[in-house]
Structure 1
Amino acid sequence: MTAVAAVLSPSGPAHAQEATPTELPAIEVTTPSPIVKPKRAKAASSGQGVPQTAPPATAEGAAIPPGTALDFDDHAFVAVTTASDREIAATNGPTLTDTLENKPGIVGSTFAPGANRPIIRGLDSYRVRTQENGIGTHDVAAISEDHAIPVDPNAADRVEVVRGPATLRYGSQAIGGVVSVENQRIPTYMPKGGFSGAVSGGGTSVDEGVDGAFKVTAGANGIVVHADGFRRETEDYDSPNGKVANTFVDSKGGALGASLVGTDGFFGVSFARIESVYGIPGEEAEEGVNPRIDMVQDKVLAKGEWRVRDFGLEAVRFWFGASDYKHDELAIHDPGVDNEFEVGSTFTNKEQEARVEIQHLPVGTVLGEFTGAIGAHWGHRKTRGQSFEGESLLEPVETDSIAAFWFEELALTRKTRLQAAARIEHTAVDGTGWEDFHGEEEVGSPGEWHFHAHEISGEKSFTPVSASLGALYQLPFATVARLTGQYVERAPDAAELFSKGMHEATGTFEVGNPFLDVEKATTIEAGLKKSTGALRFDASAYYTRYNGFIYRQLQGFECDGASSVGEFHCEEEGHGGGGGGGHSHEAFDLVYFQQRDANFYGFEAAAQYDVAPIWRGVWGIDGQYDFVNAKFDDGSYVPRIPPHRLGGGLYYRDANWFARAGVLHAFDQNRFGEEEIATPGYTLVSAEISYTVEGRTENGIAPVFTVGLKGENLADEEVLNHASFKRREGVLEPGASVRLFGSVKLN
């Protein structure tokens, strides 16, 4: 939901009949810009003479009386979606995307319940960055749709999704957007009374799933420690046509962290581990092969801030992360004969990343007040995909990047603000792939081809340069207009350059292209936002021209095995496919990474209207609409683009109760790419009711209790996701489901 945050989500602000509006949880948006305003924090004391920083409240997170003027804020320059911890707790699903995929502009890849990657405005994989507390999730999810993002929803206090110019802060691999998990695994403030905690959990009918989590933060004398943990188990889920085989998830994880917190900043570190085993549905699961992934990741994060407020500096901030990721892809190779799981392939990723940002103090000029920040961003990763008796989809590939970026804002008047941003980045990818890729038809065997490719090793380097300009203007009735333009270059990813083998998840035999150039995107976006009063809305329209859009082009062949020297056997589609001495009897569609010009345009809107006071609160209506259209220059459609969606609902809210019932209709998708088919539309019916009450404060600690029920797809519709590779196998999404959830929070 573009820039809706808490304002336009079902948990957004409302005004009641009372003079004081209903208070809602504060949401501090941190991802969009390195230019951070002085925090409007309440000063708390540890009792030892060292003031600590309490969590800040922001206008977007708190209920605002009708008619209050909208303050300019950092994220107003861009489209931002936020999901609060209450929304996360109420939503069924083991991935971050499950909470986001019904918001405007966002859908999920829904390859498997344990691997559901976000698709933003029709873009995914190498164009969408996922991160936790400012550092990338350091996984291999972009390489394949069956690979999970190693962050469970229970680890998130909130999730932010950012599009547009703000993505320049994070690099060319964020060209489509950033999905950012924010939490207190590295404590940034002393909790009130020196302690805060939470216990939450839930159960879901559609998959007999149960999950639970805890979070504890405590501190004194400027030292704050944190611990959290979660466990999640689900069985195969039900669909309108029966149980969908091999859709289970079993995951667990947790983290420990500690910080030094003072009046001028903080410094902290954390260690986190996540383990997950999940099944992959589809034809192989129906045949008893039951493919599954066994994933584990260890990650160390460090973060700090020094609020200088002198020498021309407002603050200095840094982030660092290092991780070790591995997953095994397992399957039963002889169902009914030998039911032992064997490792078919293993993916590993070792990655380190660091970012430093320096914000200068505001500078007054004849034009207005300048506020800005500069930063540097460094990363290194080593990735490998080993499979099929030593063959590799991806040989060990090392990627190094170094970048500098700059953001500057100018307050021309009280109503007009400008922002400029730029980034220059150098990326070097060192790996082994194939060049001179060609095939020859075998003599006496019509339709059968023998392909050759010469091996190439070495470093490919790129220097993407990006820039953006934005303007905000405050219109009457507390409405803000925004207009942004950006030019972004993206360096090809290691897998796009050096892939060379079978990719079971997508059913493709992938050949990378070491001669790819940078991908270039020019975007213009306009938006209107009103976040106060009885009527609140946010709308965005955008157009993007891609020069050299990188994609996987089908070659019209089905292949089986490959040798390490770059020889493999294929058949023209329609001649039976497969066979010929490969390692698998399954045929894989031959694809080659190519570049092609393309045009994307779309629109997203969400609105909420408080109709009238009733009982102790207010009732209202909400609505949303989104679409994206994407075509190559020859008029053909870009594959896997989601359909138009239109939805709305009724809600009630007061200090304790929240209730909503609504529908979201996805239209038929008849604009489909090569080798795709049309996807029928569907209508999702949902309903939710929850009750929250605050207990009596004792020893400075106030408990807050929440319990609720949420139903999803209550009409038990047959849902096929056009954006999913599992669409062609007819894998249905979950049917009717009811989730019982609850939490107890202390402070």
Structure 2
Amino acid sequence: MPFTSLSALLAGLRFARVLPLAPLPLALCGALAHAQSPETNDANAVAGDTQQGVATLAPVFVTANPLGSIALTAPSTALYGDALVLRRANSLGETLNGLPGVSTTTYGPMVGRPIIRGMDGDRIRLLQNGVAAFDASSLSYDHAVPQDPLSIERVEIVRGPAALLYGGNAIGGVVNTIDNRIPREPVSGVTGAVDASYGGANDARAGAAQVEGGNGGFAFHVDAFARDTSNQRIPGYAHSAQQRALDGPDAAQPYGSIPNSDGRWHGGAVGSSYTWADGYAGISYNSFDANYGSVAEDDVRLRMHQDHVALASEVRNLQGPISQLKFDFGYTDYEHREIDNGETSTTFRNHGYEARLEARHATLGPLQGAFGVQVSQNTFSALGDEALVPTTQTTNVALFGLEEWNVTPALKLSLGARIEHVKLDPVAGEDGTKFAGVLARDFNAGSLSAGALYKLTPVWSMVGNVAYTERAPTFYELYANGPHDATGQYLIGNPDAQKEKAVSTDLSLRYASGPNKASAGVFYSRFRNYLTEYNTGRLVDDDDTPVPAGTADALNEAVYRGVPAEFYGVELEGRWRVLERGAHRLDIGLAADYTHARNVDTGAPLPRIAPLRATLNADYGYGPFGAHAELVHAWAQHRVPEDDLPTDGYTTLALALTYKFHVGATNWLAYVRGDNLTNQDVRYASSVVRDIAPEGGRSVMVGLRTTF
């Protein structure tokens, strides 16, 4: 261990959520030491903690269904406890990358936003505890999601049309991160955790501490986290062979590491709540600070700060027509500065609020349902040299509802709907400037979905969903017009862009019998006006004037364009208990996914689509020892737009070993994890910087955790 004293250990704190009834060491080693349930499962099967080999109850899946149903029609994944801790990486996108249908944008080791079924940006709704925490991550790939995976207790991912209850910008899916900063259940006494780790391909020093306490009524939560990394080590050249050929013979070619890929961030939170038998009410505040480099520009760094205040309450078992009420509110003040050669070139700001009220009505015969209202308003501005969008206020008001009908014990039907009004109000520039004459836009967007779950046998079920969804274009898709040095692009919006309209469907076959679970699903989405970013093939300067190749600070011109598009694909996953003899347990898992996306008019592929991927893993446990192995193969991606470069395939191997022990009243866990042990040159097809910044090479991480 690199930590040689208690003070050094505390300086590298790593957050870990502590459940009063589940000692924290088991949160990491449960899947290893006991070979418990899989990392991910479709719909109602989730990964959880264990205590002395006995599985605790899985939390209710709250994102896909406000009714709290366990058997969900939605293609959904819940990741928490053991499985979440084992997957934690430097960014949210990398943490979730490889789950069924999920890939990541990546912009160096510190930056990654989830992609679901080939859709990214404002089609994937990122939530914290059910509401938005505004940032700039959907505007540009170099903008990190201001949330460290260490601070997350649970992640819920909803894929496809069932996500429409969260709006048109959830047309591809929802990623909801859940923490306990507002305690939702009674806490008695004091619990806490300290965790520290070191290693990886970028010498990451990461850690956190967390304390919770209460008297059974009032409860408090305090946490803090920190992460500090060096430049990312890679197996060879930073630029791909195709890119080096385009660079020319005189261009400098970084080797062995990615320049300017280091970073650091820290933050923390305080929260409190009052709990009672039928509900809770509370408030929390959290802060996040980051400073990291842009891998596209050696002299550009991004400094980020976010403050977020949340209010939450739930009241259950009400008498009358409404049986349950749930309220969530979040206010966010976000700012990041792009520092070019030590001077601030552009400041991005985003502040606003979102409130969501859900009401569950009393059972009406065979029907149970919920309805609600959601209101949000935020103001985004980009000030300085790279004012690529005008200051714009976006207001959204929506009504939504969901009904379920248990027709028979074997058949359940669901129907959901949402209608929303979106207004974008930009501040026009002076005559003669690039934002002169920009106009406000209003959109009315509606969505409707239907789903069915039919139990073929006690262990087999068939699930299907179909939806019509509309999404209003965002401010940057409408109004972008300016350089963005951090990504090496000049972005141009489409002020006449219309709503995206999509018809989506998915169908899956599921199996669940004890520890053995599997699912096989297909999906299809057809877009009438899919808005996405296309490279024009032109190199331009900061004024959008064409320049020859090799010109210093030349930018790739990219435009937002609406095209008819279709997405379809396959998602497979399964896990089987192959050995259970005494204290020995062994599980084998297999997963695969594939997405095909194209422009319907031309047949041309859409950009940044992950290729066919397959994963084989094994979990073994015996007493305090655990072991995990995972082999991932991604095929080459040659289906790319005309002005993009293809990516090669790769095969990676990861191994993890854990050992748990006790010292007095404290529980300890020591672990070692090796990633990309095959030292492959990994370039994600979903990354906009794949040809200049690959993923990390062979790495080893060691860590130590204690709970009290």
TM range (shorter): 0.7 to 0.9
In structure 1, distance between residues paired with 2:152 and 2:384: 33
Does the 8 Å CA contact 1:217/1:227 hold for their aligned counterparts?
Answer: yes
Aligned partner of 1:602 among 569, 576, 584: 569
Does the 8 Å CA contact 1:5/1:12 hold for their aligned counterparts?
Answer: no
Q: Deviations over 1:124-163 (max 9, x none)?
A: 1111111111121210100000001111111101211111
Aligned partner of 2:654 among 672, 686, 690: 686
Does the 8 Å CA contact 2:49/2:82 hold for their aligned counterparts?
Answer: no
Kindly indicate whether residue 625 of structure 2 is the aligned counterpart of residue 624 of structure 1: no
Q: Deviations over 1:95-131 (max 9, x none)?
A: 1222211222111111122211111111111111111
Q: Deviations over 1:487-525 (max 9, x none)?
A: 110010011111111122332212211211110111110
Question: Which secondary structure state, in structure 1, belongs to the residue aligned with residue 191 of structure 2?
Answer: strand
In structure 1, distance between residues paired with 2:322 and 2:88: 45
Kindly indicate whether residue 383 of structure 2 is the aligned counterpart of residue 345 of structure 1: no
The two structures have a TM-score, normalised by structure 1, of 0.83
Partner of 2:676: 713
Cα deviation, residue 380, structure 1: 0.3
Aligned partner of 1:669 among 637, 643, 646: 637
Partner of 1:218: 213
What is the CA RMSD across the aligned residues, in angstroms?
2.5
Kindly indicate whether residue 314 of structure 2 is the aligned counterpart of residue 317 of structure 1: no
Kindly indicate whether residue 651 of structure 2 is the aligned counterpart of residue 645 of structure 1: no
Mind listing any 5+ residue stretches in structure 1 that lack a counterpart?
15-19, 38-72, 333-340, 435-450, 563-567, 579-584
Task: Summarize the alignment of residues 113-192 of structure 1 with structure 2, pairs less than 5 Å apart.
Answer: 113-191=109-187
Partner of 2:545: 569
Task: Summarize the alignment of residues 99-110 of structure 1 with structure 2, pairs less than 5 Å apart.
Answer: 99-110=95-106
Partner of 2:231: 236
In structure 2, distance between residues paired with 1:532 and 1:194: 38
In structure 2, distance between residues paired with 1:79 and 1:704: 36
- Deviation larger for 706-715 or 622-631: 706-715
In structure 1, distance between residues paired with 2:618 and 2:449: 39
Mind listing any 5+ residue stretches in structure 2 that lack a counterpart?
1-38, 237-255
In structure 1, distance between residues paired with 2:218 and 2:433: 62
Partner of 1:23: 55
Cα deviation, residue 309, structure 1: 2.7
Cα deviation, residue 6, structure 1: 9.6
Cα deviation, residue 175, structure 1: 1.0
Cα deviation, residue 470, structure 1: 0.2
Question: Which secondary structure state, in structure 1, belongs to the residue aligned with residue 437 of structure 2?
Answer: strand
Kindly indicate whether residue 371 of structure 2 is the aligned counterpart of residue 374 of structure 1: yes
Residue identity matched to 2:375: W
Distance 1:429-1:409 versus aligned 2 partners, 3 A rule: same
Partner of 2:578: 611
Distance 1:295-1:3 versus aligned 2 partners, 3 A rule: same
Aligned partner of 2:685 among 706, 719, 722: 722
Residue identity matched to 1:647: T
Q: Deviations over 1:279-324 (max 9, x none)?
A: 1224x32xxx2x2110000110000001143112220010001011
Percent identical among aligned pairs is: 30
Kindly indicate whether residue 112 of structure 2 is the aligned counterpart of residue 82 of structure 1: no
In structure 1, distance between residues paired with 2:326 and 2:445: 24
Question: Which secondary structure state, in structure 1, belongs to the residue aligned with residue 545 of structure 2?
Answer: strand
Question: Which secondary structure state, in structure 2, belongs to the residue aligned with residue 395 of structure 1?
Answer: coil
Does the 8 Å CA contact 1:8/1:537 hold for their aligned counterparts?
Answer: no
Does the 8 Å CA contact 2:88/2:149 hold for their aligned counterparts?
Answer: no
Partner of 2:695: 733
Distance 1:300-1:453 versus aligned 2 partners, 3 A rule: closer
Question: Which secondary structure state, in structure 1, belongs to the residue aligned with residue 163 of structure 2?
Answer: helix
Cα deviation, residue 33, structure 1: 1.2
Partner of 1:526: 507
Aligned residues: 650
Q: Deviations over 1:372-426 (max 9, x none)?
A: 00010000000011231xx611111000000000000000011110110000000
Does the 8 Å CA contact 1:6/1:83 hold for their aligned counterparts?
Answer: no
Residue identity matched to 1:301: A
Cα deviation, residue 77, structure 1: 1.0
Kindly indicate whether residue 231 of structure 2 is the aligned counterpart of residue 250 of structure 1: no
Distance 1:452-1:632 versus aligned 2 partners, 3 A rule: farther
Question: Which secondary structure state, in structure 2, belongs to the residue aligned with residue 728 of structure 1?
Answer: coil
Partner of 2:246: none
Residue identity matched to 1:396: T
The two structures have a TM-score, normalised by structure 2, of 0.87
Cα deviation, residue 556, structure 1: 4.1
Distance 1:12-1:543 versus aligned 2 partners, 3 A rule: farther
Does the 8 Å CA contact 1:432/1:456 hold for their aligned counterparts?
Answer: no
Cα deviation, residue 732, structure 1: 1.8
In structure 1, distance between residues paired with 2:46 and 2:58: 14
Aligned partner of 1:97 among 89, 93, 105: 93
Cα deviation, residue 591, structure 1: 2.6
Does the 8 Å CA contact 2:479/2:492 hold for their aligned counterparts?
Answer: yes
Residue identity matched to 2:233: D
Does the 8 Å CA contact 1:89/1:201 hold for their aligned counterparts?
Answer: no
In structure 2, distance between residues paired with 1:675 and 1:25: 50
Cα deviation, residue 671, structure 1: 1.0
Question: Which secondary structure state, in structure 1, belongs to the residue aligned with residue 157 of structure 2?
Answer: strand
Bigger Cα Rg: 1
In structure 2, distance between residues paired with 1:739 and 1:83: 21
Aligned partner of 2:401 among 390, 398, 406: 406
Task: Summarize the alignment of residues 238-387 of structure 1 with structure 2, pairs less than 5 Å apart.
Answer: 238-241=233-236, 242-282=256-296, 284-285=297-298, 289=299, 291-332=300-341, 341-364=342-365, 369-387=366-384
- Deviation larger for 86-95 or 511-520: 86-95
Task: Summarize the alignment of residues 44-55 of structure 1 with structure 2, pairs less than 5 Å apart.
Answer: none
Question: Which secondary structure state, in structure 2, belongs to the residue aligned with residue 461 of structure 1?
Answer: strand
Cα deviation, residue 221, structure 1: 5.7
